[in-house]
Structure 1
Amino acid sequence: MTEQPAEADGAPSATGPTSGKRRPGRPTLSNEHLLDTALDLFLQNGFERTTIEGIAAAAGMAKRTVYTRYGDKTTLFKAALTRAIEEWIIPIELLQEAESDDLEETLLRIGQILVANVLSRGGQRLLHLTNAVSGQMPEISAFNVQKGTEPTLAYLADLFRRRIARDGVELPHADEAAEAFLDLVVGGPANASSRGVVFTSDEVDRHTRYSVGLFLRGVLPPDRDAVVAEEEKVRLERSIAEALTQLDQARTQLEAGLRPAEVRDDVSCE
């Protein structure tokens, strides 16, 4: 049997019945595989200690091919991280599908989706890498915020305006409420995991439920009847205080007016 010549990087054979299938033991030479391999090595070794040669060898790709595609290590790193961010981001449509008639249940589902995402392998990988290079490459963190955080904040603010505002009165500070939700529900686990804290599924669920409940009790406008009752209580207490003050003044005046009369009565009796 005549042996087929080796294929060029990224060019699968188009001959024979096994066209398009990967040979056993031969790594794929796709660009996605290259970027995934690069990201893993950057995470494992750090940016400074990772080399194009090491990435090419791990990906089973010629070094010249990597240089041809990306030119230098920084460009390759940004491309790998950008792709990972785009794949990791939660689509807004998925958050919308979590909505129900029960606002607390809606926020709980959304919180669970976001927390699970940030604690996933992809989320942890991005968290460690962006924290490590944010000083050298602030545009990476900015890209992460622009692509992931900003759309989520906009969606949450809109959700709060739609579901929390009452009697046609717009909820004030909906944007700040959205940021507070992310900080409280998602930020805690994200920050703790970046310090090496490992959560059990029960701990994650307990934290999410508690945080959503705490947030919701703080952001919901108070019940109108309760507000009216509290205002009436304050007015009544003020009226009672004023009445007691007036009563004391009247008693003082009365006592002062009786003393001269008592003295006159004593004199006339003598």
Structure 2
Amino acid sequence: MRLAIRHETLYRYTSPLAYTIQQLRLTPRVESHQHLLSWHIDTSGQRHAFADAFGNLCHMLTITGKHDVVRIVVAGEVDITPLDRGRLLENGALSPLVFTVTTRLTEPSEHIRAFAAQHLRGNSSSDLLQLAEAICGAVMYQSGATGVTTTANDALQLGQGVCQDHAHLFIACCHTRCIPTRYVSGYIDSGSTGHAESHAWVDVWVEENDFTGWVSIDVTHAGYASDAHCRLAVARDYDSAAPVSGVRRGGGEESLDVSVKVVPMLSQ
């Protein structure tokens, strides 16, 4: 599937900023099933491209001088080949064990350990899909119910959340069994689901008779990731895969507007 994507992030401030530095993970990953046809980043200031510790394509954005608006626009087209049962063709340069390390957002609480003991029967693909279904039943999708600082345990206790909460809870459950699992940020052709076109899901390491490697699972939809999913970054959690993160000097109060549009196109 070919996806045309446009993502605009607009920060406004009540008083002028003296300095802004942002780390952008807004360029689709280079992977064998995902081909970048065109991609453009539009910002003010200076940008420096680099790869982070997880192999994600990043830019460091620096804006100096007085400013009260920071506008970041990315747009382009990506061609994505369907995955066979979510199976990725590359294992990556890092050991899967890197993704057994817990974080503040994915620390398994006693509540999570009990949930995982009930719903995570094994580490086959079918077992992991059943875990995703259980998470969808326990944490209803509710836009605005949680924020970027919400932990997996917070979401489970609240019983509401969004895609990043589903991903964090899935990761936390897998950590109780030392199953390598990584957070994925990206975009989705949401179709009629009504879910945001900025999306989060997981890759989980499986060892089956006919396959050993990463399987990509969309926890929110309790199914395998497909050619409707465009991958931006992989990491241990939202904090280390965030599309935009950084610091500023000055600015007073901040307001944020985000607009994402993903449109499927006919492949050439």
State the TM-score, normalized to the length of structure 1: 0.22
Q: Greater helix percent: which structure?
A: 1
More strand by share: 2
Q: TM-score, normalised by structure 2?
A: 0.23
